[in-house]
Amino acid sequence: MSAPTATKATEVRLAARPHGKPTPADFSIVDTDLPVPADGQVLVRNLVISVDPYMRGRMSDAKSYAEPYQVGKVMHGGAIGEVVESTVDSLKPGDVVLHGLGWRTHAVVDAAQAVKVDPDAAPITAYLGVLGMTGLTAYAGLLDVAEFKPGDTVFVSGAAGAVGSEVGQLAKLKGAKRVIGSAGSAEKVRWLTEELGFDAAFNYKDGPIAEQLRAAAPDGIDVYFDNVGGEHLEAAIDSLNLHGRIAVCGMISLYNATEPAPAPRNLTQIIAKRFTMRGLLVTDHFARQQDFLAEVAPLVREGKLKYSETVVDGIRNAPQAFLDLLDGANTGKMLVRVGD
């Protein structure tokens, strides 16, 4: 066992359950003693942590697919870190691992829950994004949930985000007739069309979404990959072709709502159009992990599938990074580089 050099750790804890949009007051940042691993555990110094939209749901105590964060307790999420102390033979100090105890500088992780990754095969941040759960969400969501077929016209909302940007590129690489994305700024729209190869994109703030989507997809859409919900979902239903498919990955436009949203008001079209609409949780698709990596890792390595990261420095800035994420300030994956 090697002795860690640090003696203190820093944690980001949930201070209060937000009502509506979270604020900095809903978080607390606490310095604490460095944790000590027990048998079967490793002490990891986190290098990079992921902040993700789903975390907003876990800040509330509403019943959901995942346990809510506990008030007064450290939050958690995906992280990449370096083993600094180990009680097991399978992991040694210096190994880089992927695990689920982010939102802190140091974490005691059960060895069985730490996945060793190769920092020479890809940048370590890729294991949290394009080659991690983000990428698997895009891959399984498009191919398995939305049942994409070559020749489909695909619409992706939140297309400049980590998942949406990968969905659109995968659709193009797999023979989509047309790929359309929505985003929240002219700069993001340019990135989608000029860098990622989307056939069309629009800024949802520029006008009614339904009108902009009809203009971008005059022949309708076959697949809608939903990251936003609300008005986007309603517009997609309006443009959906017969037997279209909707994969619902997220509904970020509703996460801070304090009252139920009225949209989609046109859901009765499910009868006439006979479309299907399915929810998507990446945890249902871990069996696809090897297929995903075998297909996507070479695309990333060869530059055929591009990705972007928005990186914020310092664990104490993690709450603001999360708030910025909810406001759409990121392009691609939002990450926090933990620092010492």
**CA 158, 159, 162, 168 torsion: positive or negative?**
positive
Which numeric CATH code is attached to 134-283? 3.40.50.720
pLDDT at 4 over 60: no
Q: With pLDDT > 70 as the criterion, what percentage of the chain qualifies?
A: 98
Architecture of domain 8-129+308-337: Alpha-Beta Complex (3.90)
Cβ(20)–Cβ(41) under 8 Å? no
Q: Can you give the pLDDT at residue 1?
A: 40
- Tell me, what's the pLDDT at 340? 57
| pLDDT (mean) for 189-205 | 98
Q: pLDDT per residue over 258-268, tens digit each?
A: 777 776 999 99
Average pLDDT, the chain: 94
Tell whether the model's pLDDT for residue 97 goes beyond 70: yes
Local structure of residue 278 (DSSP, 8 states): E
- pLDDT tens profile 106-153: 999 999 999 999 998 889 999 999 999 999 999 999 999 999 999 999
* Sheet arrangement for strand 221-226: 200-203, 178-183, 153-156, 221-226, 240-248, 276-279
Phi–psi pair at 321, nearest 5 degrees: -60, -40
Average pLDDT over residues 56-85: 92
Is 32 within 8 Å of 324 (Cβ atoms)? no
Of 118-122, 196-200, 273-277, the range with the lowest mean pLDDT is 118-122
What pLDDT is recorded for position 148? 98
DSSP E strands in the chain: the ranges are 8-14, 27-33, 41-50, 79-86, 96-99, 106-110, 115-116, 153-156, 178-183, 200-203, 221-226, 240-248, 276-279, 309-313, 333-337
User: Given this model, what pLDDT does residue 5 score?
Assistant: 63
DSSP symbol at 222 = E
Task: Work out the pLDDT band at 310, boundaries 50, 70, 90.
Answer: very high
The structural domains of the chain, with segments of one domain joined by +, span 8-129+308-337, 134-283
Which tens digit of pLDDT belongs to each residue from 30-54? 999 999 999 999 999 999 999 999 9
Q: How confident is the model at residue 323 (pLDDT cuts 50, 70, 90)?
A: very high
Contact 93, 87 (CB under 8 A): no
For 195, the 3-state DSSP assignment is helix
CA 79/CA 125 separation, integer angstroms: 9
Mean of the pLDDT values across residues 77-96? 97
Whether the per-residue pLDDT at 214 is higher than 50: the answer is yes
Is 17 a residue whose pLDDT tops 50?
A: yes
Three-state DSSP class for 86?
A: strand
